[in-house]
């Protein structure tokens, strides 16, 4: 911690004064602004000077000892925000939700809580903290430590379940990203997921920018991006093949059992899912089910029964799928910083179907069915149609 209260209840900030000034102007005891317990001034040579609790257990605002990285990150973010001409507050206590934001800053009439997250935390804790801020109309900006970027081979990354909660969107083009910060190199990084290969593995576009070239708007509205190449296509075909063979790395079984009944009514089964299902689409991360499951559902339940040329709206689909989500048949990821993620995920898949010539969007926003869906009659036919489809998309 950089902030303490002295015996006169005066706020002592280690970020505002030199170490010399601190020693000459202030003397112990120091107290925690949040829990009022005594703090020790740690005059570190490796870690920056900081305050620490003698015992952490009962402080609501700090449950684990602070690492050098967390201290350095807070200090760097604080000074970066000042360089942007803003008036940040470090370790801002927000008593009504019993939280302390790493750095709080207001721009125009919006308040932002910058949280520099180095350690893994439980998904529930991450959700709670995000929702606490949102309940006060404070927008949380989650910056993960750059050490949390886990690249696999080129373009592929590992993602932990709790990290998805931080997914931030850009409103005008549906792109969304996770944000990272390195206090050592003073660099912001942005991971824009493009496809979700498995619950913990994504293909993403990755950008890094020195803090000196990063503006506040790039953090809240994300920097402009260009889609790179799509080296994942052959891998995606392999994945579809695995699905047709019944191999599945996804845990949930309820979604498959449910969709299987729908196939059974057509005297078919999951391995013979339509070739137009099971494709990457933006916001597919909203669904925890594999793409071929929820997309097959949409094709067979919503689109197949329509006559050719018959129109439908997104708002016709929502009341049909929502109960399945509520019942947990289609499990989803909560993305609290994304507005209407379900509508977006469905719309983006409809655009993929438009590529395949299954539906068409009119200027009025109505969708219409323009081609019938066929279920492959053999696995070979399924593989063949998948290959035909992959040439149409992106
Ligand atoms: Zn405390």
Asked whether residue 120 is domain-assigned, the answer is yes
The DSSP line for 106-118 is: EETTEEEEEEEE-
Contact 355, 301 (CB under 8 A): no
In the Cβ-directed half-sphere of 61, how many Cα atoms lie within 13 Å?
A: 24
According to the model, what pLDDT value does residue 57 have?
66
Tokens representing residue 9 in the block: 């209840």
Do 321 and 186 lie in a common domain?
Answer: no
Instruction: Output the CA 57–ligand 1 centroid distance in Å.
Output: 9
DSSP for 185-217, written as a single string:
TTEEEEEEEEEEEETTEEEEEEEEEEGGG--HH
Is 18 domain-assigned?
yes
Residue 266: exposure state from Cβ atoms within 10 A (0-12, 13-18, ≥19): exposed
Measured in angstroms, how far is the CA atom of residue 61 from the centroid of ligand 1?
Answer: 6
User: Is 368 within a domain?
Assistant: yes
Tens digit of each residue's pLDDT (9 = 90 or more) over 254-310: 999 999 999 999 999 999 999 999 999 999 999 999 999 999 999 999 999 999 999
| Same domain flag for 14 and 138 | no
Helices (H), the chain: 19-25, 68-83, 123-135, 216-221, 233-244, 254-265, 291-297, 314-326, 341-355, 379-390
Residues 211 and 309 in one domain: no
Cα(348)–Cα(280) distance, integer angstroms = 9
Total domains in the chain come to: 3
Q: Is residue 187 part of a domain?
A: yes
**Does residue 113 sit in the same domain as residue 255?**
no
Q: What is the pLDDT of residues 186-243, one digit of tens each?
A: 999 999 999 998 888 999 999 999 999 999 999 998 988 877 777 888 889 999 999 9
Say which CATH number the domain at 206 has.
3.40.1350.10
Distance CA 75, CA 320 (A): 49
| pLDDT-derived band at 56, boundaries 50, 70, 90 | low
Nearest to 234 by CA among 292, 265, 195: 195
In this structure, the answer to whether residues 303 and 196 fall within a common structural domain is: no
Of 158, 192, 221, at which residue does a domain stop? Answer: 221
Residues recorded for the chain? 394
Determine the pLDDT at residue 33.
86
Say how many Å lie between the CA of residue 56 and the centre of ligand 1: 7
Last residue of a domain, one of 29, 47, 65: 65
Q: Write out the residue range of the structural domain in which residue 311 sits.
A: 233-390
CB 359 within 8 A of CB 351: no
- Spacing, Cα 147 to ligand 1 middle (Å): 27
Token pair 């350690």 is found at 119
Q: What's the CA-to-centroid distance between 60 and ligand 1, angstroms?
A: 7
Say whether both 379 and 279 belong to one domain.
yes
Q: pLDDT class for 394, splitting at 50, 70, 90? A: low
Question: Residue 251: what pLDDT?
Answer: 66
3-state secondary structure of 136: coil
Please tell me the distance between residue 211's alpha carbon and the centre of ligand 1 in angstroms: 31
Are 201 and 245 members of one domain?
A: no
Contacts of 110 (CB under 8 A, 6+ apart): 137, 139
CA neighbor of 285 nearest in space, from 169, 143, 172 = 169
Cα(166) to ligand 1 centroid in Å equals: 26
Distance 82 CA to ligand 1 centre (A): 26
Distance 35 CA to ligand 1 centre (A): 4
d(CA 113, ligand 1 centre) in Å = 19
Q: How remote is the CA of residue 27 from the centroid of ligand 1, in Å? A: 19
Distance (angstroms) between ligand 1 centre and the Cα of 205 equals: 40
311 falls within a domain: yes
Residue 22 lies in a domain: yes
Phi, psi (5° rounding) for residue 194?
Answer: -110, -40
CA of 132 to the centre of ligand 1 (A): 19
For residues 40 and 97, membership in a common domain is answered with: no
pLDDT band at 18 (very low <50, low <70, confident <90, very high): confident
Q: Under 8 Å CB-to-CB from 196, ≥6 apart: which residues? A: 202, 280, 284, 285, 291
Asked if 385 and 249 sit in the same domain, the reply is yes
Q: Report how far ligand 1's centroid is from the alpha carbon of 36 (Å).
A: 6
pLDDT tens digit string along 86-132? Answer: 999 999 989 899 899 999 999 999 999 999 999 999 999 999 999 99
Q: 302 alpha carbon to ligand 1 midpoint, in Å?
A: 54
Q: Of the candidates 65, 99, 116, which is a domain's last residue?
A: 65
Are 54 and 114 in a shared domain? no
Degrees to nearest 5, angle at CA 274 with 268 and 279: 140
> Kind of pairing, strands 359-361 and 367-369?
antiparallel
User: Same domain, yes or no, for 92 and 137?
Assistant: yes
Report the separation in Å between the CA atom of 69 and the middle of ligand 1, taken as the mean of its atom positions.
20
Same domain, 108 and 209: yes
Q: Is residue 227 part of a domain?
A: no
Quick check: is 261 in a domain?
Answer: yes
| Cα 38 to ligand 1 centre (Å) | 8
């Amino acid at each position: 911690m950089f902030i303490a209260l002295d015996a006169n209840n005066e706020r002592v900030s280690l970020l505002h004064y030199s170490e010399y000034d601190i020693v000459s102007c202030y003397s112990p005891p120091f107290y925690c602004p949040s829990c009022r317990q005594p703090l020790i001034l740690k005059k570190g040579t490796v870690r920056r000077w900081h305050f620490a609790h003698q015992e952490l257990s009962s402080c609501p605002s700090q449950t684990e000892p602070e690492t050098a990285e967390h201290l350095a990150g807070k200090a760097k973010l604080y000074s970066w925000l000042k360089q942007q001409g803003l008036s940040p507050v470090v370790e801002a206590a927000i008593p009504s939700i019993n939280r302390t934001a790493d750095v709080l800053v207001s721009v125009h009439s919006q308040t932002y809580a910058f949280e520099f997250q180095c350690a893994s935390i439980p998904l529930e804790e991450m959700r709670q903290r995000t929702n606490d801020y949102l309940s006060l109309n404070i927008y949380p900006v989650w910056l993960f430590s750059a050490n949390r970027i886990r690249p696999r081979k080129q373009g592929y990354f590992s993602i932990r379940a709790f990290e998805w909660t931080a997914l931030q969107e850009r409103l005008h083009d549906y792109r969304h990203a996770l944000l990272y910060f390195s206090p050592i190199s003073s660099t912001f990084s942005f991971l824009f997921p493009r496809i979700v290969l498995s619950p913990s593995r994504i293909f993403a576009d990755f950008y890094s920018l020195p803090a000196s070239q990063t503006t506040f708007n790039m953090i809240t509205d994300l920097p402009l991006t260009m889609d790179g190449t799509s080296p994942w296509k052959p891998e995606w075909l392999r994945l579809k093949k695995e699905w047709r063979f019944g191999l599945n790395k996804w845990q949930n079984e309820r979604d498959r059992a449910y969709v299987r009944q729908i196939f059974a009514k057509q005297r078919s089964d999951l391995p013979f899912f339509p070739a137009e299902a099971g494709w990457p689409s933006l916001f597919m991360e909203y669904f925890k089910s594999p793409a071929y499951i929820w997309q097959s559902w949409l094709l067979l339940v919503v689109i197949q029964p329509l006559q050719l040329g018959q129109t439908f709206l997104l708002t016709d689909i929502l009341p049909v799928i929502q109960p399945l989500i509520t019942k947990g048949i289609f499990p989803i990821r909560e993305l609290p910083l994304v507005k209407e993620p379900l509508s977006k995920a469905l719309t983006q898949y409809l655009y993929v179907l438009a590529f395949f010539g299954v539906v068409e969007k009119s200027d009025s926003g109505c969708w219409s069915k323009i081609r019938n869906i066929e279920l492959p009659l053999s696995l070979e036919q399924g593989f063949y149609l998948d290959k035909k489809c992959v040439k149409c998309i992106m």
